[in-house]
A and B are shown apart, each in its own frame.
Chain A
Amino acid sequence: AQSVAQPEDQVNVAEGNPLTVKCTYSVSGNPYLFWYVQYPNRGLQFLLKYITGDNLVKGSYGFEAEFNKSQTSFHLKKPSALVSDSALYFCAVRPMNTGFQKLVFGTGTRLLVSP
């Protein structure tokens, strides 16, 4: 079965420190991978995606993610966290070998950046 795991319910980091939000996936074949962010009482906003090519992907608001095929991971990173980065983050995968147009989401990780 296709699945996405976000092993941490919450990540705490001090402002100015680097942050990492973890994501691993399980799909057959090569996937498309996505990160989304959700602020309170809002919909999801697209941050970045991996399709092919360079394993390091840069996205909005200074975020980046590294695709690691051997570890089936796609961790979200930022060199210096801001208090305004506090939000709920979702990893998603689109399996490439299925005809069904579907994104599979993880359960989300709440990021809390303290001043």
Chain B
Amino acid sequence: DVKVTQSSRYLVKRTGEKVFLECVQDMDHENMFWYRQDPGLGLRLIYFSYDVKMKEKGDIPEGYSVSREKKERFSLILESASTNQTSMYLCASSLILDRGAEAFFGQGTRLTVV
């Protein structure tokens, strides 16, 4: 089975801190994604990577950056955490979507910024 592992289930950070969320997948997937989930808004794509060192902005990239130095690892960085970034963060990976591949999700990181 595909496994997508996020480094933390729960995080509490202070306003202004630099925050790193880590994600690792074990199925050699080309694509990796970071989504943010908020009640009533569904999942919104923050960033996407289709290869090592390659990234594309999603719908809400402001205040975030990403890093993909190795194929299996995709990191989300909050440069200076703010309270409006309190949310559930979901990492996902997939094969190339052109062939109808589904995405596999990690268990999520619930981040609270105080």
Query: Which residues of chain A have a CB within 8 Å of any CB of chain B?
Result: 9, 32, 34, 36, 41-46, 49, 51-52, 90, 94, 96, 100-103, 105-108
Residues of chain A contacted by B81 (CB below 8 angstroms): none
Partner of B97, one of A41, A42, A52, A94: A94
**Sample of 9 A–B contacts (CB below 8 Å):** A32-B100, A43-B4, A43-B107, A45-B105, A46-B102, A46-B103, A46-B104, A101-B94, A106-B42
From A100, A102, A107, give the contact of B40 (CB < 8 A).
A107
Q: Is the CB of B42 within 8 A of A41?
A: no
Q: Is the interface of A mostly helix, strand, loop or mixed?
A: loop
- Tell me, in angstroms, the Cα distance from A46 to B108 when the chains sit together: 15
With a cutoff of 8 Å between Cβ atoms, the chain A residues found around residue B48 in the complex are: 100-102
- Report the bound CA distance from A51 to B98 in whole Å: 10
In this complex, the interface size class of chain B, counting residues with CB under 8 Å from chain A, is: 20 to 34
State the CA gap A9–B94 with chains docked (Å). Answer: 28
CB of B97 within 8 A of CB of A103, answer: yes
- Cα–Cα, bound, A44→B43 (Å): 10
B42 surroundings in chain A (CB, below 8 A): 90, 105-108
Partner of A49, one of B40, B92, B100: B100
A41: chain B residues within 8 A (beta carbon): 9, 108, 110
A-B contact count (CB 8 A): 62
B90 interface hit (Cβ, 8 Å): yes
Nearest CB in chain A to that of B105: its residue: A43
Taken together as a complex, chains A and B put the C-alpha atoms of A39 and B74 apart, in Å, by 24
In the complex, residue of chain B having the shortest beta-carbon distance to the beta carbon of A49? B102
Determine how close the nearest CB of chain A comes to the CB of B102; give it in whole angstroms: 5
How far apart are A93's CB and chain B's nearest CB, in angstroms?
A: 11
Query: Which residue, B4, B35, B42, B94, has most C-beta atoms of chain A within 10 A?
Result: B42
Q: Contacting B96 at CB < 8 Å: which of A42, A44, A101?
A: A101
Per the bound structure, the CA–CA distance linking A52 and B6 in Å amounts to: 33
Q: In the complex, which residues of chain A have a beta carbon less than 8 angstroms from the beta carbon of B106?
A: 43
Residue of A nearest to B90 (CB): A43
Tell me if A42 and B100 are in contact (CB < 8 A).
Answer: no
Not counting A32-B97, A51-B100, A107-B40, a sample of 17 additional A-B residue pairs whose C-beta atoms are within 8 angstroms of each other reads A9-B40, A36-B105, A41-B108, A43-B108, A44-B43, A44-B90, A46-B102, A49-B100, A52-B100, A101-B48, A101-B50, A101-B56, A101-B94, A101-B96, A103-B33, A105-B42, A105-B44
